[in-house]
Amino acid sequence: MDDSASQLKKFQKELSSGTVSLVLLGVLAQSRQPLYGYQIAKRLEGAEGVLAGKQSALYPVLRNLEGAGLLASEVEPSVSGPPRRYYRITKPGREVLREWVAAWNATRDAVDNVLQGGVS
Amino acid sequence: MNAPRTIAEYLEQLRAALRGADPALIQDALYDAEEHLRAELAEQPSRSEAQMLEHVVGSYGAPDEVAEIYRDQEIKIQRALRPPPPPKRRSLAGRFFGVAADPRTYGALFYMLLALATGIFYFTWAVTGLSLSVGLSVLIIGLPFIVLFFGSVRVLSLVEGRIVEAMLGMRMPRRPVYPTTGMTLMQRIGSMFTDVHTWTTLCYMWLMLPLGIVYFTLAVTLLSVSVAFIGAPLAMLLHNDWLPGLYVDHQVTVNWGFGAHVPGWGDAIAMCVIGIVLLFTTLHLARALGRLHGHVAKHMLVPRAAD
């Protein structure tokens, strides 16, 4: 039991490493205005599967995406609270997202196909 | 570990859980956590800090969980962003010449050349800012000037961190230290002066001028001497009639320590070999200096975690 739980955890960790980046890019591509970390975390709250992990895992991914030039960010002081770092998607980010979505769709379909016994 | 009741307590526990990790990683993790917690608090002002934190431990993660996530991420970043380590070469010759295949070498070499420009800028900025701060302190505009100057020093510290990380491969913080809240303006200004980090950064900016001059001189001199030596056979080959014309006594001579003579092909080949050895030694030196400077930058630009 304990062994299968740790296997599941390991699998989720591996599965999440690419999908979280994809989802974060997707969220920022759909949003009309720039979002800060907390807002993004709120939008993903209630999601299932690997996205249900701890929200602290999102911040390093956001920073890496920014480092790769797929996101841009700026700090703005807010009236009601602390200064916030707003992220928005960049032009190369949108192009990368289009390719990632295509890769994701192909992978998802292929995996579903295999799991439903399409390959024998 | 008992449940944190205030944001400060939470951050303290997170810092403790990250003890021993890279200071740059700790600074980033604390910044993220504080931003998230303060946003959470601002979202529902009616909740007390303790209630909010109870909720956050579930959603954002308890300090030790967060620490583990950041350590994990750091391993992934190292793997994804760093160029693959060059293959380990066993033989002495392989290790000596292998330096040319290491991308770090060229980053360090470029940094050595750039250091003169940035060094002059940092030095001028620090010395001008500091002396104007002292000079203007008797006037009413002195205070805002000092605050602006110290703010600019922090920004430059981050900028230099980015340069060092890109060229020397030393992990540096990507986020500044989170601005402390709940302090009056005067306390905030006061903390700028009592913060050791501000002063070590200023020292670093001052130090960059002499260091930059040394790095630049070393890089330019060693590179041009080795390239000139390597090119010796080429000069022999092209034509050696016009060459003596460049000299006052119309004669080029070489002296290996056994008396001067007019150089022949043997001398040219020997100089070429010396040049090649010198070039690779220079690359080794650049890589070693780059590594050394990375450590210096890390110690002076990244605030120590207050233990």
Supply φ then ψ for residue B46, to 5 degrees: -75, -25
Q: In sequence order, what are the beta bridge partners of A89? A: A71
B261-283 mean pLDDT: 88
User: Quick check: A44 pLDDT over 70?
Assistant: yes
Which of B111-115, B166-170, B244-248 is predicted least confidently?
B244-248
User: Does the residue A36 lie in any domain?
Assistant: yes
User: Does the residue A24 lie in any domain?
Assistant: yes
Alpha carbon of B307: minimum distance to chain A alpha carbons (Å): 23
Q: In sequence order, what are the beta bridge partners of B260? A: B255
How many domains is chain A partitioned into structurally?
A: 1
How far is residue B71's CA from residue B29's CA, in Å, rounded to a whole number? Answer: 10
Please count the residues of chain B. Answer: 307
Residue scoring higher pLDDT (B301 or B307): B301
How far is residue B1's CA from residue B62's CA, in Å, rounded to a whole number? Answer: 10
User: Quick check: B194 pLDDT over 90?
Assistant: no
pLDDT for res B239: 63
How far is residue B112's CA from residue B220's CA, in Å, rounded to a whole number? Answer: 9
Counting one residue from A and one from B, how many pairs have CB atoms under 8 Å apart? Answer: 76
| pTM summary value | 0.63
Are the Cβ atoms of B77 and A17 closer than 8 angstroms? Answer: no
Rounded to the nearest 10 degrees, the angle between the axes of helix B63-81 and helix A58-67 is: 20
B3-26 mean pLDDT: 84
Q: What is the four-CA torsion angle of A26, A32, A37, A40, rounded to 10 degrees?
A: -50
Are the Cβ atoms of A13 and B38 closer than 8 angstroms? Answer: no
B61 in contact with A, Cβ within 8 Å: yes
Contacts of A81 in chain B (CB under 8 A): 38-39, 41-42
How far is residue B255's CA from residue B270's CA, in Å, rounded to a whole number? Answer: 12
Supply φ then ψ for residue B113, to 5 degrees: -70, -40
User: What beta strand segments (E) does chain A contain?
Assistant: 35-36, 71-76, 84-89
ipTM tops 0.85 = no
Are the Cβ atoms of B35 and A36 closer than 8 angstroms? Answer: yes
Query: Which residue in A64, A82, A85 is closest to B181 by CB distance?
Result: A82
A17 in contact with B, Cβ within 8 Å: yes
Contacts of B71 in chain A (CB under 8 A): none
Q: How many CB atoms lie within 10 A of CB A41?
A: 21
Are the Cβ atoms of B28 and A85 closer than 8 angstroms? Answer: no
Which two tokens mark B275? 């040049």
Q: What is the DSSP letter of A55?
A: G
- The HSE-up count of residue A16 (CA atoms within 13 Å, CB side) is 22
Please state, rounded to an integer, the average pLDDT across all residues of chain B.
83
Are the Cβ atoms of B70 and A61 closer than 8 angstroms? Answer: no
pLDDT for res B77: 64
Contacts of B35 in chain A (CB under 8 A): 36-38, 82, 84-85
How deeply is B71 buried, as exposed, middle or buried, from its count of CB atoms within 10 A (0-12, 13-18, 19+)? middle
Contacts of A67 in chain B (CB under 8 A): 81, 174
User: Does the residue A32 lie in any domain?
Assistant: yes
Q: How many CB atoms lie within 10 A of CB A43?
A: 15
User: Quick check: A1 pLDDT over 60?
Assistant: no
pLDDT for res B302: 83
Percent above pLDDT 70 for chain B: 87
Q: How confident is the model at residue B147 (pLDDT cuts 50, 70, 90)?
A: confident
Write the pLDDT tens digit of every residue in A80-97: 666 788 899 999 999 999
B128-145 mean pLDDT: 90
How far is residue A76's CA from residue A62's CA, in Å, rounded to a whole number? Answer: 17
Interface test with B, best of A36, A56, A76 (most B CBs within 10 A): A56
> What residue has token string 């975390």?
A41
Q: What is the DSSP letter of B183?
A: -
User: Does the residue A93 lie in any domain?
Assistant: yes
User: Quick check: B262 pLDDT over 80?
Assistant: no
How far is residue B212's CA from residue B214's CA, in Å, rounded to a whole number? Answer: 5
Closest residue, chain A, to B26 (C-alpha): A60
For residue B261, the surrounding DSSP H or E stretch is strand B260-261
pLDDT for res B126: 95
How far is residue B238's CA from residue B268's CA, in Å, rounded to a whole number? Answer: 13
User: Quick check: B61 pLDDT over 60?
Assistant: yes
How far is residue A105's CA from residue A95's CA, in Å, rounded to a whole number? Answer: 16
Please count the residues of chain A. Answer: 120
Residue scoring higher pLDDT (B203 or B28): B203
Query: Which residue in B38, B61, B175 is closest to A82 by CB distance?
Result: B38
- Residues 23-82 of chain A whose Cβ lies under 8 A from any Cβ of chain B: 36-39, 41, 45, 54-57, 59-61, 63-64, 67, 78, 80-82
Q: What are the b/e assignments for A45-54, b being 16+ CB within 10 Å?
A: eeeeebbebb
Q: How many CB atoms lie within 10 A of CB B173?
A: 24
User: Does the residue A120 lie in any domain?
Assistant: no
User: Domain with A111 in it: what CATH number?
Assistant: 1.10.10.10
pLDDT for res B307: 36
How far is residue B144's CA from residue B131's CA, in Å, rounded to a whole number? Answer: 15
Which two tokens mark B97? 């010449």
Are the Cβ atoms of A67 and B41 closer than 8 angstroms? Answer: no
The whole domain housing A61 covers: 2-115
pLDDT for res A8: 84
